Amino acid sequence: MTDKKAGRIRIGVGGWTYAPWRGVFYPEKLPQKRELEYSAGHLTSIEINGTYYGSQKPESFAKWRDETPDGFVFSLKAPRFATNRRVLAEAGETIERFFGSGVTELGDKLGPVNWQFMATKKFDPDDFEAFLKLLPRTLQGRDLRHVVEVRHDSFRTPAFTSLLRQYGVAAVIAGDSEYPQIADITAPFVYVRAMGTDERAGPAGYDAADLDRWAERARAWAAGGAPEGLDYVEKPEAGDPRDVFLYVISGHKVSNPAAAMALIQRVG
């Protein structure tokens, strides 16, 4: 999707089962069992939300792998039971259980794992580092990519971004949302959740200028740049090319697939 000197840009939405998409994104008579197959034919990645709420069977991961084309990648929201706790250092058992649940059945389609924290969770440097130490770097010989989605202003500090950089973990870049934005590059990839679709902006939920802006940012990240117009704790210098994962999430959810497809078309 980008030239050979840049990283790969993958764009998608959260999940694929959403009744209001039927007749809007999905054709009217498309069987529900084919919705993932259809989504994967029009998007390049999907963030799986179900893994946040409960465990999935290995057979499910294998089925999702087989229903999507080569080059397609899933990101996974990690279980809330690991992050919604007072002492993060005690999450080890939950983390081990998650990675033993069959996620490797996704094979090459296993992308980043998003560890989402509640907006009330504040930054405790020692406890957060203890949590990062619990995240496995590899699984059955496969490198893992981790990203944390923090939603409290206390994380907007160099102590946090330095810690992420030390462990090679990315911070979710929250776009067009009420949550604090931390656009610092702390890992060899970028993970964006754009949350600003609005039905007043037309079928794609974003107007053309906003779509152009997000596409330009995606290309800049893939080339190793640090786009203007974002909130950094410490703005990085230009670096190596990196993969980009951009998901159009929440907002006016009916419009999200159209926005994602418009961005895919723009990044070429």
Kindly state whether residue 108 falls inside one of the protein's structural domains. Answer: yes
- The count of domains in the chain is 1
The mean pLDDT of the chain is: 96
For residue 232 the two structure tokens come to 């950094």
Task: Give the domain extent around 27.
Answer: 9-267
- pTM (two decimals): 0.96
Whether pLDDT at 3 is above 50: no
If you write DSSP's letter for every residue of 50-87 in order, what string do you get? HHHHS---HHHHHHHHHTS-TT-EEEEEPPHHHHSSS-
Kindly state whether residue 92 falls inside one of the protein's structural domains. Answer: yes
Kindly state whether residue 3 falls inside one of the protein's structural domains. Answer: no
Kindly state whether residue 222 falls inside one of the protein's structural domains. Answer: yes
Kindly state whether residue 2 falls inside one of the protein's structural domains. Answer: no
The CA dihedral of 179, 183, 187, 188, to the nearest 10 degrees, is 120
Per-residue pLDDT reduced to its tens digit, 215-268 = 999 999 999 999 999 999 998 888 899 999 999 999 999 999 999 999 999 998
Residue type at 60 in one-letter notation: S
Kindly state whether residue 190 falls inside one of the protein's structural domains. Answer: yes
Give the β-pairing of 170-171 and 146-149. parallel
Per-residue pLDDT reduced to its tens digit, 35-51 = 999 999 999 999 999 99
Which residue's structure tokens are 């009217």?
A: 28
Q: Return the CATH number at 80.
A: 3.20.20.410
Kindly state whether residue 69 falls inside one of the protein's structural domains. Answer: yes
Kindly state whether residue 252 falls inside one of the protein's structural domains. Answer: yes
- Of the candidates 122, 134, 129, 135, the one whose C-alpha atom is nearest the C-alpha of residue 163 is 129
